Amino acid sequence: MTGRRRRRAPPELPPGGVLDWRDSSHWSSRELPCRYCGFDTHLRDSKHKPAHKTCAEEALAQQAADAADAYQNGTL
């Protein structure tokens, strides 16, 4: 075994860059503040935290861009 570490590829966005929240598990009858923008929402992310779909997509896009930058700069 060599001492080299293999770099992981940066995370990718879902196909088309949008999340599929058609499943009823993304809906709650109780409005809570979005974890990203603070405005009330009935929607929940995959971890059941309150989040607007568009806010979650923007956050994922930013995370992917940050990871790609870190990967290109060798800091990941």
Interval 18-75: pLDDT, tens: 788 888 999 999 999 999 999 999 999 989 999 999 999 999 889 888 888 888 887 6
What pLDDT score was predicted for residue 17?
A: 61
Q: Cβ contacts of residue 31 below 8 Å, gap of 6+?
A: 40, 41, 42, 50
Residue 72 CB coordination number (10 Å): 10
What pLDDT score was predicted for residue 3?
A: 56
CA distance 76 to 74: 6
4 against 57, higher pLDDT: 57
What pLDDT score was predicted for residue 64?
A: 86
CA distance 5 to 51: 36
What pLDDT score was predicted for residue 73?
A: 82
CA distance 26 to 50: 9
CA distance 24 to 33: 19
